[in-house]
Amino acid sequence: MPTLPHKDEEAAVSASHGAGGAVVLLAFDGVEAIDIAGPASVFSKAEQMRPGTYRLHIASPAGGSVPTNGGLSFAGTLALRELPAAIDTLIVAGGDEPSVRSAILEQKVSEWIAEVAPRVRRVGSVCTGAFALAAAGLLDGREATTHWSACDMLQQLRPRVRVQRERIYVQDGPMWTSAGVTTGIELALALVEDDLGHAVSMDIARTLALPMLRGGEQPQLSQALEAQATASHRLRELVAWIGTHPQEDLSVEAMAGRVQMSPRNFARAFATQTGCTPARFVEQTRVAAAAQLLRQTGWTQEKIASRSGFRSVDALQRAFARQHGVTPQGYRDVGGREGR
């Protein structure tokens, strides 16, 4: 089957396309609604902010109404044969296993993707949409990701794919793949940033009221969500509060006071219920906050250390070395741009 262009061919394709082209979101019967609605919202808001930037199309194999796996339907989708000849960005949505299998084997979406991919500047997927790209032969020899629960299956079915299990989204040349469901929003924001710059992407993120804009290198399962999974109600609320207040006093005594427990009982209960000591959880939270600021601002390390709750740049650097094995500046130069 055809594969996407590499190196010189890739540069030529990129040079011939750009913002202002057609963005196609590919759905199918049983598609995950958010996989389409999330990216569609991002690209439509980018078009509102920068008119003439994107022409958005929602497509499906046969066109018309497409039922989702949540009981909703997308009406008026374009049939694949009705799409414009020039597609700038193609994003394939995901769904549950039977729906994706049917789309690939019965509706032949992978055959269509393989045919058009060499003429498309960027091809991407949300969640299990990666299986359609893999079946088209487009991920062989490339790094890619999908929903955490499907990574092993993707690796088994396509051994030549370098599956990245701990990534929100992955860019490998013109291929962009994202993890589960809501990460499609972050993928779309990364594509907009690639086209229009960081400021536009951040404006859209604020418009969508996202709590933060994660980089592609972030793990699929967040530390806070994992901690909340087995915690009691009051500790779940505390975990959420810590995540949005890293600069506050987060000593054991202060946190115990917020949940009206003695420091000793609090420390024991927190470790038992979250699987992490309070001190380690706070450090991880503060490093994550600092990493976000390193990606999104040009602030000095002194300002970032203060805003993320570290008492000094030295404390920030030591915490970064423990968690990432690099300095904050090294993360900003390399790690913070990973996936972009």
What residue has token string 């993928």? 187
Cα–Cα distance measured from residue 288 to residue 261, given in angstroms and rounded to the nearest whole number: 27
In this predicted structure, what is the pLDDT of residue 339?
35
In this predicted structure, what is the pLDDT of residue 217?
59
Numbered ranges of CATH 1.10.10.60 in the chain: 223-340
Q: Which CATH superfamily is domain 223-340 in?
A: Homeodomain-like (1.10.10.60)
Find the mean pLDDT for residues 157-183: 92
Q: 95-130: per-residue pLDDT in tens? A: 999 999 999 999 999 999 999 999 999 999 999 999
Q: pLDDT-based confidence at 178, cuts 50/70/90?
A: very high
Mean pLDDT of the chain: 87
- Does residue 311 register a pLDDT over 70? yes
Q: pLDDT-based confidence at 208, cuts 50/70/90?
A: confident
Numbered ranges of CATH 3.40.50.880 in the chain: 7-207
Long-range residue pairs from 245-252, CB within 8 A, at least 24 positions apart, any chain: 246/282, 246/285, 246/286, 246/289, 246/307, 246/308, 246/309, 247/306, 247/307, 247/308, 247/309, 248/309, 250/278, 250/282, 250/285, 250/309, 252/278, 252/279
CATH architecture of the domain formed by 7-207: 3-Layer(aba) Sandwich (3.40)
pTM of this structure: 0.70
Q: Give the residue, 157 or 339, on which the prediction is more confident.
A: 157
In this predicted structure, what is the pLDDT of residue 232?
85
Angle at 119 between CA 113 and CA 123, to 5 degrees: 55
